[in-house]
Chains A and B, each alone.
Chain A
Amino acid sequence: MRIYTGKGVYGAVAIGKIAVFKRKELSVKRFHVEDRNKEKKRVEAAKNVAREELQDIYDKALKEVGEANAQIFEMHMMMLDDVDYNDSICNIIETQAVNAEYAVAVTSDNFSEMFSSMEDAYMKERAADIRDISNRLIRKLQTDKDENTLEMDKVIICADDLAPSETVLLDKDKVLAFVTSHGSSNSHTAILARNMNIPAIIGVGDEFLQEISDGVSAIVDGFTGEIYVEPDEKTSKKLLKKQQKDEEKRKLLQELRGKENITRDGKKINVYANIGSVENIGAVLLNDADGIGLFRSEFLYLESKDYPTEERQFIAYRKVLESMAGKRVIIRTLDIGADKQVDYFGLKKEENPALGCRAIRICLTRPEIFKTQLRALYRASTYGNLGIMFPMITSVREVEEILSMCSEVKAELINEGVEVSDKIELGVMIETPAAAIISDMLAPMVDFFSVGTNDLTQYTLACDRQNPEIEDFMDTHHEAILRLIATAADNAHKHGAWIGICGELAADTSLTERFLRMGIDELSVSPSFVLNVRGAIRDIDLTK
């Protein structure tokens, strides 16, 4: 048994035989031509065929891996039409009186070298795109029809690296896994493998390819990034078990997709997803969440070097709302301070940041920042079903101030002729003991509560979340926390508000039944936990 290690880019186990990916070598000869215009016309004709092929690949990728990943082939079509790239090909034909294939090959070398020599890791990878389109063009010039096809059934594809179009064109039903000796997490192979749900390991090193051959048995563990060639019996057994377990889990979850979040006795619970950036929406939809229960708006502030403008925020919020197509989207206003620091806010160093100027406290002391965010949110409100929630509430006065700012912003926008939805729900987070205890006073003021269990635990148990020394004292199932949540749930319902939980505890399926018995209406969890929670809900019978 030999073990090679690389970087696992998709966690799953594959057991099977190796197939070394063979690329038809392109050999390009340089020869003199008399009719330069004819060569140029050949390039145009080849480009047309290549463009059609790319369109087909784009369509295939669109179906299999989604728009975001298919876009690369749209870019390839654009590269094919790039002015400089084409000028270079024509110039070489014109000045050297050589054949089209040669002109494309030289251009390919020059352009890919330019990208390889760039410092940026992402840009370096783009050399592969140049080679991919150029090789396609050369193949078309040589009127080569065959793409790479696999003869064997169900194999582990091993290659030095795979061009994006090569990855997409492989017959998915025959691929058990990808292993490449090169490549990075930025490479398309990695990205596509993740989206095709195929275990993949990249960067296993050069010796790997030299030491394997077609038909040799192997096991790929995408979780650990290990590939076992000619595995011994013990390893085979162990990994077979791992594979079965993983597949069972997947199957179970797959069965739950499209199902309702409904208890045995018929009570419907909303299971939403927590996300931190626009890019996560794909995962929300994939895992079949009913909506977004917590959209952390901080990323807009953390990723920029200055206060994000109203326009930039508006575009991000609109995108989330549009992507969720009318499903509820709850956006939490700025929650920085404590463990999330942003330089340009110029916040003072605090002895005790968790108890300091953070979240809503910043918003209320610096209303200009808060107002920009509220304006962007209200402007985006017509694009979907928006809820806005405010973090770190401790008093009625804070909520009064927030609500009056909201009305002010709304009136201002209407005055400016901007359309604003009148169905926006406003809610507060219950993440301080104070908020839970006065939840009877807060409930009449809002449409919903959302319990942030991480901070609620920290503040209730007086345990610093960041301090690993006291982990043993941080009992997340502590009766005090559960009682505070129950109090908030009772008070919410008395005043016609709904209540959800968006902290980590929401995904803890050992508590799901307890939460449901309290009357919790919504659980918001990381996208990958949505189906787990759905499974737990469907097993509960509240009449028993």
Chain B
Amino acid sequence: MVKKEIKVINELGMHMRPAGILAKRAMAYNNCDITLRVNGKSVNAKALMQIMSAGVKCGNTVEIICDGMDEEMALDELVGLFEGGFGE
């Protein structure tokens, strides 16, 4: 299992677009469980509505936890998405 904390820089927080991109990318890792821990909640990074329902705002710290096949690769990619502000 690998994990990393990262700050959300998107102005509107994890609104639909970034949440959608995140879920889509996370889903590519079939055999790896990916969890986000934020504001005391744990959500499945592959579930769009869960991510959105966590109400993640700009400036929140999110812990990404990857567990399974290709976990390092998954973590790197997702961290990159957050760092790049999901291209916004």
Q: Using CB atoms and an 8 Å cutoff, list the residues of chain A in contact with chain B.
A: 71-72, 74-75, 78-79, 82-85, 111, 114-115, 118-120, 122-123, 126, 129, 278, 303-305, 309, 311-312, 315, 319
Contact = CB atoms under 8 A, between A and B. Distances in A.
Contacts of A309: 83
B52 A126 contact: yes
B85 A312 contact: yes
Contacts of A278: 88
A84 B50 CA distance: 8
Given A82-B49, A115-B53, 14 more contacts: A71-B17, A74-B20, A78-B20, A79-B49, A84-B49, A84-B50, A85-B49, A119-B55, A120-B57, A123-B15, A304-B9, A312-B9, A312-B85, A315-B87
Contacts of A119: 55
B73 interface: no
A118 B55 contact: yes
Contacts of A75: 16-17, 20, 48
Nearest to A85: B49
Nearest to B44: A83
Contacts of B49: 79, 82, 84-85, 111
Interface of B: 9, 11-13, 15-17, 20, 23-24, 44, 46-50, 52-53, 55, 57, 59, 83-85, 87-88
Nearest to B47: A83
B4 to A, nearest CB: 15
Contact of B55 (A78, A123, A311): A123
Given A75-B16, A122-B15, A126-B52, A311 B84 contact: yes
Contacts of A319: 87
Contacts of A85: 49
Contacts of A120: 13, 55, 57
A79 B57 CA distance: 21
Contacts of B47: 82-84
Contacts of A79: 48-49
21 contacts: A75-B20, A75-B48, A78-B20, A78-B23, A78-B24, A79-B49, A82-B23, A83-B47, A114-B53, A115-B52, A120-B55, A120-B57, A123-B55, A126-B16, A309-B83, A311-B84, A312-B9, A312-B83, A312-B85, A315-B84, A315-B87
Contacts of B87: 315, 319
Given A75-B20, A78-B24, A305-B59, A118 B85 contact: no
A394 to B, nearest CB: 34
A312 B87 CA distance: 9
A72 B47 CA distance: 17
A530 to B, nearest CB: 25
Residue from B47, B48, B57 whose CB has the most chain A CB atoms within 10 Å: B48
A168 B48 CA distance: 23
A72 B16 CA distance: 8
Contacts of A114: 53
The 10 closest A-B CB pairs, nearest first, are: A83-B47, A75-B20, A82-B48, A82-B49, A315-B84, A75-B16, A84-B47, A78-B20, A84-B49, A78-B48
Contacts of B44: 83-84
A311 B9 CA distance: 12
B83 A123 contact: no
A82 B51 CA distance: 11
B20 A303 contact: no
Contacts of A123: 15, 52, 55
A84 B44 CA distance: 10
A16 B11 CA distance: 40
B76 to A, nearest CB: 14
Contact of B53 (A71, A118, A129): A118
Contacts of A71: 17
A273 B36 CA distance: 41
Contacts of B53: 114-115, 118
A309 B84 CA distance: 10
B35 to A, nearest CB: 13
Contacts of A303: 11
Contacts of A312: 9, 83-85
A118 B14 CA distance: 14
A74 B19 CA distance: 12
